[in-house]
Amino acid sequence: MAQAVNLANKLSLFSEHWKPKIVAGFNGNDIMVVKLKGEFQWHSHAETDDFFLVLKGRLTIRLRDGDVHLGPGELYVVPAGVEHCPVAEEEVHLLLIEPAGTPNTGDPATAVVKTAL
Domains, the chain, with CATH or none: 7-116 (2.60.120.10)
pLDDT tens digits for 68-114?
A: 999 999 999 999 999 999 999 999 999 999 888 776 666 676 667 77
Beta carbons within 8 Å of 34's beta carbon, 6+ residues apart: 17, 18, 19, 20, 21, 93, 94, 96
Beta carbons within 8 Å of 80's beta carbon, 6+ residues apart: 44, 45, 46, 47, 48, 49
| pTM of the predicted protein model | 0.89
Beta carbons within 8 Å of 19's beta carbon, 6+ residues apart: 34, 112, 114, 115
